[in-house]
Amino acid sequence: MSLIVALGLYVVFLAIYWFLAFSVLWHLKEYILPIDSSRWIVRGFLTIMAVLNIVSLFLFFQLPL
């Protein structure tokens, strides 16, 4: 039971998190200028966020629920 509640909360967190992340990316994609290196900064952020997400997923399923 506690696993279902925790999983529900975690899924809601991830949904809100990636909604905000993709909102930021949408803004950047819409207004980014092709003449600077900001694409690499965005890619860097995305990579870190994706890696942390994978680590958090791994740790979530290690929890003694």
Query: Which residue ranges make up the site for another protein (CB under 8 A)?
Result: 13, 17, 20-21, 23-24, 27-28, 30-33, 35-36, 38, 41-42, 45, 48-49, 52-53, 55-56, 59-60, 62-64
In one-letter notation, the amino acid at residue 51 is: V
Instruction: Name the token pair of 33.
Output: 């200028």
Closest separation in Å from C-beta 8 to another protein:
15
Instruction: Compare residues 1 and 36 and give the one whose CB is closer to another protein.
Output: 36
CA distances (Å), 5 to each of 1, 19, 20, in order? 6, 21, 23
Closest separation in Å from C-beta 13 to another protein:
7
Please tell me the distance from the alpha carbon of residue 48 to that of residue 31, in angstroms, as a whole number: 22
